[in-house]
Amino acid sequence: ETGVTQSPTHLIKTRGQQVTLRCSSQSGHNTVSWYQQALGQGPQFIFQYYREEENGRGNFPPRFSGLQFPNYSSELNVNALELDDSALYLCASSVDRGPSRYTFGSGTRLTVV
């Protein structure tokens, strides 16, 4: 197992810009979920992809979007960045459709200035 790898580890963006965060999952992990963790808070569910289709979404606006690729990699895209988007973004992958066997990555720390 190679684990779940996220890139970049840190980045700084300006309000209004767009950002793409990347996640590389383990082979066979057909489900990937993304979470936003604001400072001092628990992670919040953004959305989940199963076999390249979004099949679940939390309370996040449409400017948060994603893609999942056949090679077990995925992306989180955020448009029109706001200051409140500053957070640690975590990717979690699983062989199951649900969250029962997540493996989390170490996250990407996004700062919006």
Query: What are the angstrom distances between the C-alpha of 38 and each of 78, 82, 83, 107?
Result: 15, 13, 11, 12
Place of tokens 């684990």: 3
98 scored as a contact of another protein (CB under 8 A): yes
Q: Taking the complex as a whole, how short is the minimal distance between the CB of residue 45 and another protein, in angstroms?
A: 3
99 scored as a contact of another protein (CB under 8 A): yes
Of 12-20, 44-52, 62-70, 76-84, the window that binds another protein (rule: CB under 8 A) is 44-52
Cβ neighbours around 12 below 10 Å, total: 11
Q: Taking the complex as a whole, how short is the minimal distance between the CB of residue 87 and another protein, in angstroms?
A: 13
- Count the site residues for another protein by CB under 8 A: 27
The answer to whether the CB of 45 falls within 8 A of the CB of 33 is yes
